Structure 1
Amino acid sequence: MSQPIQLVILITALPGRGQEQITAFERLAPVVRAEPGCLQYDMHQVSDEPDRFVLIERWSSKDALAAHDATPHMIEADAASPAFRAGPAEVIQLVAEPLA
């Protein structure tokens, strides 16, 4: 059985364009949350930094994450994000179990 996958994704919007990131996430989130294997898909704005965000994702398996990455809505979102993002997102995959 595959282990759940946990990701922390660091996103920086272009200066003054954080609201565009929020709007894009608000449109995308319900679609992603409805995908098979999506356990969590939540974005948080960094306190006192309106153009920085942390996206937390949890997937039931590597296969569910791979299927998510290949969906038309994610391909479209990835193609649109350079219009308001300062660069590629930094994706951090966590180990399955928390320490201590």
Structure 2
Amino acid sequence: MSQPIKLIVLVATQPGRGAEQIAAFEALAPLVRAEEGCLQYDLHRVADDPDRFALIERWASAEALAAHDVAPHMVAAGVTNKAFRAGPAEVIRLVDAPLS
């Protein structure tokens, strides 16, 4: 059985353009959350920096995440985000730490 996929996606906007990231997320989030296999999709602002964000994502499977990456709304977002992003997002994949 496939394990859920957990991601932290770090995003930085150009100076003073954090509000555009929030607006873009608010428009995109309902579409992403409706995708099959989306378990969590939440944006958080980094404390004391209005232009840095962490997106927390959880997906039911690698297949669900792969479908998300090529969904038409994600492809379109990738194009429009370039207008206000400072650079590419950093994607960090998490694994559960073994308990001893």
Partner of 1:92: 92
Provide the rounded CA distance (Å) in 1 between the counterparts of 2:98 and 2:48. Answer: 29
More strand, by proportion: 1
Per the alignment, residue 14 of structure 1 pairs with 14
Give a deviation string over 1:31-74, Cα, whole Å, max 9, x none.
10010000000000011100000000000000000000010000
Gapped runs of 5+ residues in structure 2? none
Give the 3-state SS of the residue equivalent to 1:8 in structure 2: strand
The residue that corresponds to 2:24 in the other structure is 24
Match of 1:39?
Answer: 39
Task: Flag the 1:99–1:19 CA change in 2: closer, same or farther, 3 A.
Answer: farther
The alpha carbon displacement at 1:99 in A equals 4.3
- TM-score normalised over the length of structure 1: 0.96
1:49 aligned onto 2:58:
no
> In the alignment, which residue of structure 2 is the partner of 1:67?
67
How many residues in Structure 1 have an aligned counterpart in Structure 2?
99
Letter paired with 1:21: Q
Q: Distance in 1 between matches of 2:97 and 2:47?
A: 25
Identity of aligned residues (%): 66
For 1:32 and 1:75, the matched residues in 2 are separated by 12
> Aligned letter for 1:35?
E
The CA RMSD over aligned residues, in Å, is 0.8
Q: Which runs of 5+ in 1 are unaligned?
A: none
The SS at the match of 2:43 is strand
Please give the alpha-carbon distance, in whole angstroms, between the structure 2 residues aligned to 1:13 and 1:45.
Answer: 11
